[in-house]
Structure 1
Amino acid sequence: MGTTTIARRLAVAVGTFAAAVTINAGGAAAQDAGELYLYNWANYFPPELIEKFEQETGVDVTLDVYDSNETMLAKLQAGASGYDIVFPSGYMLGVIIDEGLARKIDASELSNFGNVRAPHDAPSFDPERAYSAPYMWGTTGIAYDTDRAPELEESWKEFFKPRDALKGKIAALNDQVEMYNAGARYLGIDVCTEQPKQAQQILDLLEAQKPHLAMYSSTGTVDRMIAGEVVMHHMWNGAAHRAKEQRESIKYLYPKEGLAFWSDHMVVVKNAPNPENARTFINWMMAPENAAAASNYTGYMNAIEGSSQYLNASLKNDPAVNMPDAYADRLRPSKECSPEARELRDKVWTRLKS
């Protein structure tokens, strides 16, 4: 989950529940002792799907939850034993692999891996999917009210250089990485640039935009759009979907210059007590019907081809969540920038907000 996504989920109450589930995954590998221990984000996996897995495989599942990637990492680094699968975001997955905390599972060899859509089949942090398989993913783009604005071009230009009728009616996320990266993509600059002149170009763009914004805010995005407080909002696709549920005229844009997408993944822990059950579960979750059940519960999209036929109508019919294939080449995965690049980004944001 991206930085902003982590922040959103820090507000979710953390709890633990155990679910006894019995299940059978056709063609799966031999079982371990009939147990499986998941460590996932709070409110991020449907209890009924755990029950279905148990009923089909005979494996008893226990789910424990965390509130951030960092909490999960700290537990693994401290040597916590007993967990089989964790669900890190892309950038954290790279850390887990680099620190030797992930078990090699060769997910690309699992029978259901052929269902995985590009570009989720070969992410930069695990290009061969040797250690992971996809779970949920989302994007950060632009939403606007079609009843209060003309049809807009699918471009960051509408956000950074707004039409006169929209000036003062636009909200931006109060997020350094999202804003800086969106500006960089509009200008055709590498989001991890180490060149001061290019960082200055991004700052110039953001400063020119600033007078036309109603606010910078990463909270209340859904309610703000529903209430009509702004006409356009820089926001996450799941938030745009929830806003559209209450205000049908809201449309989500996929800027042609590219937009950020975050992703969460299923990873088997290095010292997992039930590695074969973990592989069985991961393969099972790449079946279209099961992936769709997770999407229906979380409100975010999965990466599995064929899952759309099982989605709730509200998700299936909303391109903000069920992204049209034509937009796949606009997705830009998060990148871990160098210290020099991060320092430039920090300076730009500090100047902008001063």
Structure 2
Amino acid sequence: MALGLSAGAARADGELHLYNWSNYFPPELMKKFEKETGTKVTIDNYASEEDLLAKLQAGGGGYDIVFPTPTTLGTMIKKGLVAKIEVNQMTNFGNILPKFKSVSGDENRDYSAPYMWGTTGFTYDPSKVPDGKMAQSWKGLLEPDDSLKGKIGMLDDMADVWNAAAYYLGIDKCTEDPAKAQKILDLLQKQKPFVKVYSNDGTIDRMIAGEVAMHMQWNGAAHRVKEKKPDDVYVYPKEGVTFWTDLMVVPANAPDMENAKTFINWMMKPENAAIASNYTGYSNTIKGSNAYLKPELKDDPAVNAPEDVQDRLRAFKECSPKSKDLRERVWTKLKS
């Protein structure tokens, strides 16, 4: 079966197993694919990329499509855990916006297709912070006011937490200097008593319920918080904000390789990408999808970064093994 086959060419007797972040793929889109192709879709969720990588290294878990970030993709490619599916040859590859046609670690898009993209900042509830307003800085989250002890939520994501601290301290996020890594650890350990939870799950519910005053969040989660609490504010810290893209890849031992390729090609159609955006609250990478987006999504600055914060966005950067080892040692000490 050729890579460029349309979704309608998928085998009717197929079954696809997806492995993704929780609450990050619309059930209606699964049903749409099933209706158009006759291929059944099921989905399981993971809580961190460490979990995803461990699953693939242990044999894959029988999954056909997984959703890593570039941070993990490079490792997956080097270890032979993902299939070379030549996304650049698929019929809908031309729908990808130019700046997403390449990604660090998979410059030719041989292995991966883009899914959602966004930023990692933080959201705060004005009614729960001193003076009702916070500066556009990581300071309020990483060096919080004494009144916020136990009232901060952080992501349980090593790269995002490390990067935020590095941006705030003016340290290269790919530093190989142990002394600078120690400064990052010192900052995060000093913040730790203020942290109620490190978790990637429940960030939306936690903010809506008022369990925390602020939460490090991905911007799509912030959008969904603002749907319930419109006064809450998403911050693009002036020191730097991680700009990321989630990906769709096929494990090397995927049970249904051909239908997996068909699904990825199908996801690069504007109307399908828009359904995913409308559900997740994140921007997608497909041109023409704006025509199908909900107005409140297009109008939310948490989703569409305003022009005056564009220079704060920091793209993924592949760090050296020495730098990654420092980051992992800091994370292990912080979480112990």
Q: Same fold (TM over 0.5)?
A: yes
The aligned counterpart of 1:298 is: 280
Indicate yes or no: 2:322 matched with 1:342: no
Q: What is the match of residue 109 of structure 2? A: 129
Identify the match of residue 332 of structure 1 among 315, 324, 331: 315
The Cα offsets for residues 313-338 of structure 1, whole Å up to 9 and x where unpaired, read as 44333222344476555043275553
Tell me the amino acid that sits aligned with residue 247 of structure 1: K
Pairwise CA distance, 1:244? 1.8
Amino acid at match of 2:39: D
C-alpha contact 2:83 2:249 (8 A) present in aligned 1: yes
Q: Tell me which moved more, 272-281 or 246-255.
A: 272-281
In 2, Cα distance between equivalents of 1:184 and 1:197:
13
Question: Post-superposition shift, 1:300?
Answer: 3.6
**Following the alignment from structure 1 to structure 2, what is the Cα–Cα distance between the partners of residues 240 and 38?**
28
Letter in 2 for 1:312: K
Aligned residues: 323
Relative distance call for 1:172 and 1:88 in structure 2 (3 A) is closer
CA distance in 2 between counterparts of 1:294 and 1:66 reads 16
What is the CA-CA distance between 1:141 and the residue it aligns to? 0.7
Mapped contact 2:153–2:203 kept (Cα < 8 A): no
Structure-2 change in CA distance of 1:268 and 1:185 (3 Å): same
State the partner residue of 2:303.
321
With normalisation by structure 1, the TM-score equals 0.71
Determine the C-alpha separation between the residues in 1 that align with 2:25 and 2:335: 37
Query: How far apart, in 2, do the equivalents of 1:217 and 1:184 lie?
Result: 21
Q: Which stretch of the first structure deviates more once superposed, 106-115 or 120-129? A: 106-115
Distance in 1 (CA, whole Å) between partners of 2:31 and 2:252 is 26
1:92 is aligned to 72
Q: Could you tell me how far apart the structure 2 residues matched to 1:175 and 1:269 are?
A: 24
Please name the residue that 2:154 is paired with: 173
Q: Deviations over 1:275-308 (max 9, x none)?
A: 4443332122112210121223334443323323
Find the partner of 2:119 among 127, 130, 139: 139
Q: How big is each residue's C-alpha offset from its partner over 1:192-249, in whole Å with a ceiling of 9 and x where there is no partner? A: 3121332344356557x749x8435335654564466765443332432233223211
Q: Deviations over 1:67-119 (max 9, x none)?
A: 35556555554556965433333333223222223222222333433333465
The answer to whether the 8 A contact 1:194-1:344 is kept is no
**Percent of aligned positions with the same letter in both sequences?**
48
The code of the aligned residue for 1:37 comes to L
Question: Once the 2 structures are TM-superposed, how far is the Cα of residue 176 of structure 1 from its aligned partner?
Answer: 7.4
Preserved CA contact (<8 Å) 2:164 2:241: yes
Task: Report the equivalent of 1:248.
Answer: 230
Counterparts in 2 of 1:174 and 1:322: CA distance versus 1, 3 Å = closer
Distance change >3 Å, CA 39–CA 235, structure 1 → 2: closer
Q: Residue deviations 1:162-218, cap 9 Å, x none?
A: 6xxx553473527573433212112331223121332344356557x749x843533
Q: Determine which of 307, 312, 316 is the counterpart of 2:294.
A: 312
Q: Which amino acid aligns with 1:332?
A: A
Task: Provide structure 1 residue ranges, at least 5 long, that are not aligned to the other structure.
Answer: 1-25
Change (3 A) 1:103 1:196: closer
Spell out the pairing of 1:1-20 with structure 2 (5 A cutoff). none
Aligned in 2, Cα 1:28/1:192: closer, same or farther, shift over 3 Å? same
Closer, same or farther in 2 for the Cα pair 1:297/1:186, shift >3 Å?
same
> What is the rounded CA distance, in whole Å, between the counterparts of 1:151 and 1:71 in structure 2?
36
Q: Distance in 2 between matches of 1:189 and 1:65?
A: 37
Q: Once the 2 structures are TM-superposed, how far is the Cα of residue 129 of structure 1 from its aligned partner? A: 1.1
Q: Is the 8 A contact 1:143 1:240 kept in 2?
A: yes
Q: Distance in 2 between matches of 1:144 and 1:133?
A: 33
Are the structure 2 counterparts of residues 192 and 278 from structure 1 closer, same or farther at C-alpha, using a change threshold of 3 Å? same
Superposition RMSD on alpha carbons, in Å?
4.0
Range with bigger deviation, 179-188 or 338-347: 338-347
Q: 1 CA distance for matches of 2:71 and 2:162?
A: 17
Q: Does 1:154 align with 2:132?
A: no
SS at match of 2:246: strand
Q: CA distance change for structure 1 residues 326 and 111 in 2, over 3 Å: closer, same or farther?
A: farther
Q: 1:28 aligned to 2:6?
A: yes
Secondary structure at the residue paired with 2:100?
coil
Measure the CA separation in 2 of the matches of 1:84 and 1:175.
26
Which residue in the other structure is 1:60 paired with? 39
Distance 1:353 1:129, change over 3 A: closer
CA–CA distance in structure 2, aligned partners of residues 81 and 174 of structure 1: 25
State the 1:268 CA deviation.
Answer: 2.7
Aligned partners of 1:89 and 1:264 also within 8 Å: yes
Q: Choose from 87, 108, 111 the match for 1:107.
A: 87
TM-score, length-normalised on structure 2? 0.75
Q: More deviation in 328-337 or 256-265?
A: 328-337
Out of 28-37 and 42-51, give the one that drifted further.
Answer: 28-37
Deviation at 1:32, TM superposition (A): 6.0
What SS does structure 1 have at the residue aligned with 2:221? helix
SS in 1 for 2:249: strand
